[in-house]
Structure 1
């Protein structure tokens, strides 16, 4: 049965399965929702089913957004007619991160896809996908997974769940795995211990130095996780504002160590 092994998203999968089994799944679709909840997994299984041949399914944009060169490659491949009664499918991840040139070039393919072809775009932010592309796609919205589903999927992958990592993952298996593969949980525990210490100001420098070995991505993961815990513990809007500012500093020009040191001093002054 289609999607038999996929966990969560029961409503969305029921609709998609019905359309697929009735031969009515749209040629152009957009899967949107949080990162790491299984959108691409659903798309890959769906189009393997519809094309009946995994070799006729190609995926782009997994590591970085689609480029104009890749759009031309997609167009050339899609418009090369397959064998008799065969179908083709292209899955494009990070569709919400495409630059204008690539998005506009892809639009031409979306407007008049060959009758044997499917295009499925995937993204986190529906509004970030240009309106002319959105309007040509049937949109399927995916939500976060439950904590129990995240734990089940981690265990099925042979990964030992951590209660705090699951809590701060916001229902994303991908995020939970990234957290478990990083020192984020340990840094979070040390952070709250520091705040309770009578010598907190003396500990700021030594604590923030630990972030000198973290990448910006890991530091951003720490800030996102901290935001979840702060909301759970107090919901203090000033803390949340400080975390947002730290996130912006980190994205544009800040080094992880400097940003975390600034954040702690800012929080201590609240």
Structure 2
């Protein structure tokens, strides 16, 4: 009887100790706060502060501008989550990062879903249907700011290079570049000149062959002129003399 009671008591003690340990561990983990993935949302705090201000109340234009800045910050955070989530998931599978960072990313993702719904509702309170396009407008503003930053950076880089090397040096370097030879333009083939004997519209009258196989003379030649009476008489006298 004692041999059966001892292993049963051992199993009860082991299972009980494991249950007590898991209880206190879960309680401690629940009390521990998950570290925020993003810093404090200052744009949201500024908008809420303006809404709560009553003396004097803020202008509607100021509230709309604050809401736009809040949407811009939300879009930037959403883009960062989309970029970081696949890489963080891969690192988590390899064991390079802990579960705390992954849990904080998931918490930030849920927070952004609630933030998007709140911004859409706030936008619809100003203008009906504005909530459908406010994030699109925020994305366009972000792209515009990126392009402006690139232009300003290129202008600063150009000014620094001009201050370092001088404007005359850059102009001489540009002038020293070899010129690219331009290919001659293709000339259209010249048409042959129209002969002077052509008639109207460049058409030549057809030539008729004579009875003896020779071509008839052209108009204006002596052979084409009509025979005069005196020439007929002289030719008749010559014929008689020959006879």
TM over 0.5: no
TM-score, length basis structure 2: 0.21
TM-score, with length taken from structure 1: 0.20
Greater helix share, structure number: 2
Determine which structure has the larger strand proportion and give its number: 1
**Bigger relative contact order (CA 8 A; separation at least 6):** 1
